[in-house]
Amino acid sequence: MPKDALPRLRLTPPDPFPKLVPQSNIQVYIMQAPTLRDVYEAKKTIAPYLPRTPLQHSPGLSKRLDAQVYLKHDEHLPLGAFKARGGINLLAHLSQEERDRGVITASTGNHGQSIAQACRIFGARAYIVLPRGANPLKVAALRSLGAEVIFHGDNFDEARAHCDRLAKEEGYRFVHPANEPLLIAGVATQTLEVIEDMPDVEAIFMPLGGGSTAAGACIVAKTISPDIQVVAVQSEEAPGGYLYWEQGKEVEAPTTTFAEGLATRVGYDLPQSILRQHLDDFVLVSDDEIRCAIGVLIEEAHTLAEGAGAAALAGALRRPELVKGKKVSITVSGANTTLPQLLEAVKVYQGRN
């Protein structure tokens, strides 16, 4: 077997685990944290629609960080981002009546693409509310997936509030970007793949916007092995999730980061309830550190990432003591960057190296 080849571990989920139970009178799911069993069920649900993404060793990053660094390449998914996992898992579990009413959500782009793609697969109408000035590549992708795009507000949280109003007025099935157990279970399949492919992983670095991915990582990693360290990374120019995690309550924060996938004004209750119990560490990084991480990924790992997709690496570069000497998985969550964002990132990276 080649030195860097990874044997795949076959994990058996613990039994019994409680199920997600639909409340039939109002057609929503009880908002309780998903379990490892729910993640295994999500894996089966998603498998016909999405390929497994590679976990690849990076010699360049390993040398730079003095660790055994592996990149989890979720930017290889068809939508160019990890969010596709959650949308398919959620739409697969909606009733036909919910699908017929139409599904609405707010997004900065990748979550919206996930819901739009899943709606197309399962025959539901998709309405996506975005802030004005949203990433034009993501807007174009949403329209190509058949979604009706609605612009409102100057930031994600204003768009989300408008989305909530429309859902109540028009009777659409509202999909919260993070307070959805089925979304969390879906995106958690990413971490399940990491541990199946690399059972001796010691640390997992995740970007954090709404918190669903990091929360899903905690559910999987801490159930399988409490010794696996899970670290979340967020921009210090949009620290709403960090402040909730630190203070235990919703705290409004600015959202001036260029990395739209991290630009949430506040933390969300369901993922935060998981993170505050299980997350090992939380790293804030500057936007320029994220831009530098984009450059590092290009030069050291031949990998293209958007701002949120490079955030996890930026956290490892900011806090190298958290990875030194360890076997580490760093998630590249998406590659939907614009050319101006990429050019600015390369400029900053070259200026620092």
The residues that are catalytic are 83, 333
Tell how far CA 156 is from the center of its chain: 16
Give rounded-to-5 percent helix, strand, coil for the chain.
50, 15, 35
How many CB atoms are closer than 10 A to CB 168? 9
Measure the CA–CA gap between 268 and 271, rounded to whole angstroms: 6
Which residue in the block uniquely carries the two structure tokens 């924060």?
Answer: 253
Encoded tokens for 306: 């958007």
Burial status of residue 137 (CB atoms within 10 A of its CB: 0-12, 13-18, 19 or more): middle
How many CB atoms are closer than 10 A to CB 58? 23
Distances (CA, A) of 192 to 40, 94, 214, 225, 284: 8, 23, 12, 12, 25
Measure the CA–CA gap between 20 and 15, rounded to whole angstroms: 15
